[in-house]
Amino acid sequence: MHRESQPNLRGLHRAEARARPRLPWIDTVRVAVTILVIAHHCAVTYGNIPVWFYNEPPQDSSAYALDVLVVLNQTWFMGLFFLISGYFVPASVDRHGPRVFARDRLIRLGLPLLGFVLIVRPLANFHSWLLDSDRPPYALHYLRTIDAGPAWFLEVLLALSLTYAAYRAARGTPWPGRDTASELRPGIAVGQLLALMAVMAATGAVWRLIVPDGTHWPVVGLPTPSFLPQYALMFAAGALASRHRWLERVPASVAAMSAVLSALTLAVLAPGMMSPDPRTSAIVAGVLTAALGPGLSVVVLVLVRRLAPGTGPIRRLLTANAFTVYVIHPAILVGLALMLRDVTAPAIAKFGVLLLLAVPACWLLAATVRTIPGVKKIM
């Protein structure tokens, strides 16, 4: 009986995966967070945190506002990317099977990662070789500076996706079907959200005692390894939420609660991050990112779902090119910043100008890149 029913159950899950409608509002979230990534790197360009391909030493105090933007962004926005990515993984494995899914991820994430390392990074970093007083052979300079840069996201997402595919292959049996009720009960949603925050706070606090903020892992190019527990747990939460259509069903009242909780947590714990005791600052940072990561992600998702649920030709164009923008934007930002380097203005003003120039330039070039034969199938 069990052996006969198993193929039918697998077929049912594949049918569910095929029938699942596209969620245009989540595409809008992807576009918005991609723009936030560009803003993040524009802020680093002119702020006091020199972790970008090109930095201008700030000459005025407005740079501190950019630093606040960078630190606050880092607590949550990449976690939201992992949550969304994890949300669509189970349906993809249902549709294709673990082996085909893994092969597809290796192509769609691995090749853009390779393209970044071989093409985009050399373009973004070429000026540093020109400005090097020793001027070693370029090949040596390239090898000395090689890493994944912002494409670390593709690297980590690929590792998490392959781990999930291996788990599904080992598990063998399909997962239960998805819930069809229109909305989650607020109490259940709040309980699940708080449980995720609690697990993330515990793992993040302990992890940061071993891998403190500011740690950089060379070669693999991971600039924020202290956030790895958040990234992994947000991806796992997305995969689990997918089975219950959590992002589609979470009520607005939960987003309001998340906004209040995030604001209170930030107000109470932010001073502790500046503690001279590294253990205290590490633990506080772990708890703070555990609250802001899921909390702000829920706020953004529900707001976009309610205020911009549909789509249109402009949003479809932005959505189609958003992934390519993420991969290529460093080279464009550096090129534009070099063009603006002789402009004298407050740091925050140059940030605004660079952002206004970079966003349309990135999408225009991304759309052009995707006209190259074969690129659109990957990116």
Confidence at residue 253, expressed as pLDDT on a 0 to 100 scale: 92
Residue 37, SS3 per DSSP? helix
As a whole-number percent, the residues of the chain with pLDDT over 90 amount to 69
Which of the 8 DSSP states describes residue 250?
Answer: -
DSSP letters along 186-207, please? HHHHHHHHHHHHHHHHHHHHHH
pLDDT in tens, 144-189: 888 888 999 999 999 999 999 999 999 876 665 555 556 678 888 8
- C-alpha distances in Å from residue 107, one per residue of 103, 161, 182: 6, 12, 36
Question: Is 353 a residue whose pLDDT tops 50?
Answer: yes
pLDDT in tens, 289-309: 999 999 999 999 999 999 998
Confidence at residue 17, expressed as pLDDT on a 0 to 100 scale: 46
pLDDT in tens, 229-238: 999 999 999 9
Q: Average per-residue pLDDT in the chain?
A: 89
Among 127, 145, 143, 117, smallest CA distance to 55 is for 127
Confidence at residue 208, expressed as pLDDT on a 0 to 100 scale: 92
pLDDT in tens, 77-136: 999 999 999 999 999 999 999 999 999 999 999 999 999 999 999 999 988 888 877 778
Question: Is 20 a residue whose pLDDT tops 60?
Answer: no
Domain residue extents for the chain:
2-178+220-231+302-378
Question: Is 70 a residue whose pLDDT tops 70?
Answer: yes
Find the mean pLDDT for residues 301-321.
93
Confidence at residue 147, expressed as pLDDT on a 0 to 100 scale: 83
Confidence at residue 323, expressed as pLDDT on a 0 to 100 scale: 97
Question: Is 326 a residue whose pLDDT tops 80?
Answer: yes
Query: What pTM did the predictor assign?
Result: 0.90
